[in-house]
Amino acid sequence: MKSFEYGDEEIGEIEIFFIVASFMIAVGVLTLPRLLAESTQFSDGWVSLVIAGIISISFIWVTAKLASRFPNQTFFTYASLICSKPVAAVFTIGIAIYFVALTAYETRVLAVITKQYLFDQTPLEVIALLFLLVVVYAVSGTRVGVIRLNILFLPIILVIAVLLMLLNIQYFEVKNLTPAFTTSWAGYWKGTTESFFSISGFAGLLFYMKFVNRPKKAPKYAMFGVCVPLGLYLLLYVMAIGVFNTETTATLVYPTVELAKEAEIPGGFLERFESLFLTIWIMAIFNTTSLAYDVSLMAFCSVFGKVKKTTFIFVLTPIIYLVAMFPEDVGEVELMAKFLNYPILIISIIIPVTLLLLAKLRGIKGNG
């Protein structure tokens, strides 16, 4: 039936805020303090992080601005308006493939972390398969459903993250943070690039903007959306440095999880806070993964209009699973992450900027 204003094809700007925020909060959080500690000294990483955040915010603005120029149009449609159909098809399929790979990567990292901290006897393959099946269940429902899941889960995720920091305050030592500004320019630069990838623009916005009912407001809310993970990262990074100091943080594989290990629940009715933290964090990873999968499905569907969504799910899911299982060990998973970083530059910087510039120069506008 037609369901009043809750049409399945319509979302508000609040939803944009939520999906931008919860797309970025995923596995990056777990490793970010290490990446920053490796390249900067003491607590100087925050400078890199803030710079990366500002860059990211500006590009998310560009992305949102571009998409909001063409309300109710798919990325493929307006990209073909701006720069001919074949080029648009290449762009769209490229983005789709990137998000498929991202889905696979997230699935793999989730399996690795779960196995390491929660569930050491079950084979990685089973853990990954179960997770992927739940993701498939999510994306085979309505598109709005996926977005609503993000809204439902993000508060829980933020609460557990704040709890993690509160429980660590007793171990926090201010002297670990100083002296300030001792890092070299190269260090700042390295830190910025490292952290940029964890907080980089969410190209899915190019696709989700189609469903926004008030596109004018959306760029602002998308920028707010980036602020949430940025704030969270800053706090977590400072927390990690304050608790462990820079040298130790640089040696920890997942410093955030180690923070959770340190934490003790007052009253002691539960031990091993990291298990609880990771259990909740699975929801964060799930959010990112389902959004990534959904975006790739949307991209494929927009190019191949006649093929049903379920067909793509049937085809893509085994591929995602195989790609996720492809890396032999954790080292190769890291390599996979590195490979996935380069397309981000193209997808969330080069494509939106060129398209927006071209659209402005050629005066192409949507019908909104």
Partner 1 sequence: MRFNSFYKQNKKRTEMIKTKQKNQEDFSLELFTELNENLHNIKKLLDEPSDLMIREFTIGNTDHRCAIVYIEGLTDKLLIDTSVIKNIQMETEDSDKKLADKANDVVDQFYNKVLSIGKVEKVLSLDQVSYAILSGNTALYIDGTDQVLIIGSKGWENRSIEEPISEALIRGPRDGFIENLQTNTVMIRRRIRDANLRFKSYQVGRRSKKDLVVAYIDGIINPDIVKEVNRRLKTIDLDDAPETGFIEEWIEDNFLSPFPQFSHTERPDKAVAALMQGKVVILLDGTPFILMGPLTFGDTLQSPEDYYERWIVGSLLRMLRYLGAFIAVFLPALYIALVSFHPGMIPSKLAFSIAASREGVPFPAFIEAFLMEITMELLREAGIRLPKPIGQTIGIVGGLVIGEAAVAAGFVSPIMVIVVAITAVSSFSMPSYSTALAFRMIRFAFMGAAALFGLYGIILAYIAVNIHLVNLRSLGFPYTTPFAPSFLRDWRDLVIRSPITTLTKRPKYMQTDDEERMGNKKGGQ
DSSP readout, 141-152?
Answer: S-HHHHHHHHHH
Measured distance CA(126)–CA(129) in Å, rounded: 5
Give Cα 345 distance to the centre of its chain.
14
Candidate residues 52, 127, 347, 351; the one interacting with partner 1 per rule CB under 8 A = 127
Least distance in Å: CB of 164 to partner 1?
Answer: 16
**Tokens encoding 211:** 């469903």
- By CB under 8 A, tell whether 302 contacts partner 1: no
**Binders of partner 1: how many residues, by CB under 8 A?**
42
Candidate residues 217, 220, 261, 272; the one interacting with partner 1 per rule CB under 8 A = 272
Longest dimension (CA), the chain: 65
- By CB under 8 A, tell whether 213 contacts partner 1: no
Least distance in Å: CB of 13 to partner 1?
Answer: 11
- By CB under 8 A, tell whether 310 contacts partner 1: no
- By CB under 8 A, tell whether 326 contacts partner 1: no
Radius of gyration of the chain (CA): 20
Least distance in Å: CB of 6 to partner 1?
Answer: 6
CA nearest to 273, candidates 167, 190, 194: 167
Where does this chain touch partner 1 (CB under 8 A) — which range of 59-67, 71-79, 111-119, 231-239? 111-119
Measured distance CA(212)–CA(147) in Å, rounded: 12
Neighbouring C-alpha atoms within 13 Å toward the C-beta of 59:
24
Instruction: Give Cα separations from 239 to 5, 35, 42, 112, 299 (angstroms).
Output: 43, 14, 12, 24, 39
Candidate residues 122, 182, 310, 311; the one interacting with partner 1 per rule CB under 8 A = 122
- By CB under 8 A, tell whether 178 contacts partner 1: no
Where does this chain touch partner 1 (CB under 8 A) — which range of 80-88, 113-121, 236-244, 250-258? 113-121
- By CB under 8 A, tell whether 159 contacts partner 1: no
- By CB under 8 A, tell whether 145 contacts partner 1: yes
Measured distance CA(70)–CA(356) in Å, rounded: 11
- By CB under 8 A, tell whether 266 contacts partner 1: no
Nearer to partner 1, 55 or 283 (CB): 283
Candidate residues 152, 253, 322, 330; the one interacting with partner 1 per rule CB under 8 A = 152
- By CB under 8 A, tell whether 151 contacts partner 1: yes
Look at residue 212 and give its three-state secondary structure. strand
Contacts of residues 306-315 at CB distance under 8 Å and 24 or more positions apart, as own/partner, are: 309/140, 310/140, 313/136, 313/139, 313/140
CB atoms near residue 192 (< 10 Å) = 22
Site for partner 1 in 5-44 (CB under 8 A): 5-6, 11-12, 14-15
Phi/psi-derived region of residue 141, left when phi > 0, alpha when psi is between -120 and 50, beta in every other case: beta
- The residues binding partner 1 (CB under 8 A) are 1-6, 11-12, 14-15, 114, 118-119, 122, 127, 130-131, 134, 137-138, 141-142, 144-145, 147-149, 151-153, 268-272, 275-276, 279-280, 282-283, 286
